[in-house]
A and B are shown apart, each in its own frame.
Chain A
Amino acid sequence: MRNPQLTRNGELQHLLTLDGLPKAILEQILDIAEPFTEVAEREVKKLPLLRGKSVFNVFFENSTRTRTTFEIAAKRLSADVINLNVATSSTTKGETLLDTVDNLCAMGADMFVVRHASSGAPYLMAEHLHATKRDHISVVNAGDGRHAHPTQGLLDMYTIRHYKKDFTNLVVAVVGDVLHSRVARSEIAALTTLGVPEVRVIGPKTLLPTGVERMGVRVFHDMHEGLKGVDVVMMLRLQNERMQGALLPSSQEYFKVWGLTPEKLARAKPDAIVLHPGPMNRGVEIDSAVADGQNAVILPQVTFGIAVRMAVMSMLAGG
């Protein structure tokens, strides 16, 4: 079966999900991202790789950090960046997703960075471009529904590799609202592909998807147990806006049981790193003492995210 993300030669054509992406490609993205981190220290923070290309940021759902870091990444590669906040434009007038795509192609788009509340929307766009013989135009998924957020997963992997060097001797815990989290799915897929021997998920039964064990993870319903001896703690945001029905008693109650406090973090290895995809809910899933503490690598994640997005975009645009 054709992998819609890869060309016939096995090179990256779109970035839709980390699930099923070969290890060699994941490693290639991380390797290419590394020299991009240095660009931020130059007098001229620009490389010519995407000169003359138009990158359309199409966000059907709100986002500040992801959209901004994609924009910075594209601009550092010299692309022309057009930001569309579709949530407030044509779709509200009734235009379909694929009509929007066709119109933006008619405006000369070379790449789409897309966020959508529906899982699979970027895939639909990529298939539409393929069906209409526009394979030279790439789609980057910037988060679709509960499905995937591949660049977030990649920047998390970059961060882990930066601090821990080797994936094959790590115990990694993904903590919190896995059920509603596209970030968690991308993280688990990448960690598994990169050879992390033990991936744990920790959370209340109501916020873990049924059958989560089938993703190759160990499941814990107790923070003290689950965090014991881990090297990496990957916190998830409590997705208030995705929460339907009474899955939780209250955010104070949640913090008491599932919030990452210094006491709970003490169960992890002393040199454990703490990641969070942002935006953080302080006092809900993470305590300020941890968020601002020495184990946190949350701000470096943001910086690395620019380099990782530069790597993805330049791999899609080149050759």
Chain B
Amino acid sequence: MWQQLTPALRMMIIFTVLTGLVYPGVITGLAQLIFSRQANGSLVSRNARIVGSELLGQSFTKPEYFHGRPSAAGDINENDASASGGSNLGPTSQKLIDRVRASVADIRKSNPDATGALPGDSVTAWGSGLVPHISPATAELLVARVARARAASPDAIRQFVQQHTERRDFGVLGEPRVNVLALNLALDERLPVKH
């Protein structure tokens, strides 16, 4: 083993340069050239001011907005996209059951029309805690409230939801989902809240 240490050290240096510096450097160069918007975080701006990333969820609390999924835990701030994580609570965890029970009550309170079984994603936490997506069923649940807050008809809001529903890729991959950030931005622009 010991006489192999010299080639080991040299190989390590060569591969560090090749795969640790050249490779990410080349990818960064190409990505900045071809996909510069995506490579820099798919930022969205409004009035020439960056308000977030279309891939990242934000914390919404006002009634005129569609809200994201519940935050995983109290100590994770969903606005802090630099510290990600899920709740990691198991299926028989008292904490999980309590949290879901509270979420169910919350949704039923702020959306009195929601009387049936609630879509799973509306009351459970995501893996990363950072994503702007909700299921179309969850969006439908919130339509009535948003419509009231914006003094619009539910059908008008539904149209916006439709427009911001992302379909399965190639009709097969993934699940249909609504981008809450894009939807709220569009609502603010086209159906501003009257004060």
Are A and B associated in one complex?
Answer: no
